Amino acid sequence: DIQMTQSPSSLSASVGDRVTITCRASQVIGTSLAWYQQKPGKVPKLLIYAASTLQSGVPSRFSGSGSGTDFTLTISSLQPEDVATYYCQKYNSAPRTFGQGTKVEIK
Partner 1 sequence: QVQLVESGGGLVKPGGSLRLSCAASGFTFSDYYMSWIRQAPGEGLEWVSYISSGSSTIYYADSVKGRFTISRDNAKNSLYLQMNSLRADDTAIYYCARAWRGADYWGQGTLVTVSS
Q: Tell the smallest beta-carbon distance from residue 21 to partner 1 (Å).
A: 14
Among 13, 20, 69, 98, which residue interacts with partner 1 (rule: CB under 8 A)? 98
For the CA atoms of 78, 80, 83, 89, the dihedral, rounded to the nearest 10 degrees, stands at -40
Whose Cβ is closer to partner 1: residue 82's or residue 85's?
85
Whose Cβ is closer to partner 1: residue 53's or residue 77's?
53
Among 16, 43, 60, 80, which residue interacts with partner 1 (rule: CB under 8 A)? 43
If binding is defined by CB under 8 A, does position 69 make contact with partner 1?
no
